[in-house]
Amino acid sequence: MYLSKCCFWLPLRKGLLIAAYTKLVLFTSYAIYWLSEEPRTAYREETRNDSSILLPIIVLGAVIVLEIIFSIILLIGVHKINYTTVRITYIYNAILIGVEIMMSIVYIPLESYRLYASLPDDVWLILLTSMSAALLAIVIQLYMVALVRSYLFSLRQQCVSDPESSSYSPRKPYVVY
């Protein structure tokens, strides 16, 4: 499936740029909030001795940093119309879908089971909220993968890549008959 427009009305390249800039701004602002707020809540008196909180903090921090890095790489690739750079972000986004699916299947139910001991009445609300957020993240990531794949397909159709580099070349291919 290839998309010719982003959000049914924007040209594909502009829509991909807007999506990448939006993703970059959201993850950067979340990183700033997370860095200012998480250390205070993670090391309160009641959670200071709990070593199980360290692993989710490290994983979440790594995911935020990777998302920021790959959003920048996607922006560079789309701005420079570089096929290889955009393809790298396509592969990353496809792998991230698998990670998000595994997280929603394995981690969220296990975390809800761990929370059941301390919050038996609210655990179903937490599980429902977490699974809904994970489903939304998977759907957004699928749409992003579809956009990047469509952009890669349009790059292959519209231009000829120079064998020496992966940058855009507006010339027609030389065909020997």
| Count of CB atoms situated within 10 Å of the CB of 157 | 8
The span from the CA of 4 to the CA of 6, in Å, is: 7
In the chain, % of residues over pLDDT 90: 10
For residue 22, what are the CA distances in angstroms to 14, 41, 77, 154? 12, 27, 16, 22
Q: 111 burial class (0-12, 13-18, 19+ CB within 10 angstroms)?
A: middle
Check residues 73 and 107 and name the one with the higher pLDDT.
73
pLDDT one-digit tens code per residue, 25-58:
998 888 888 777 765 555 554 555 566 667 777 8
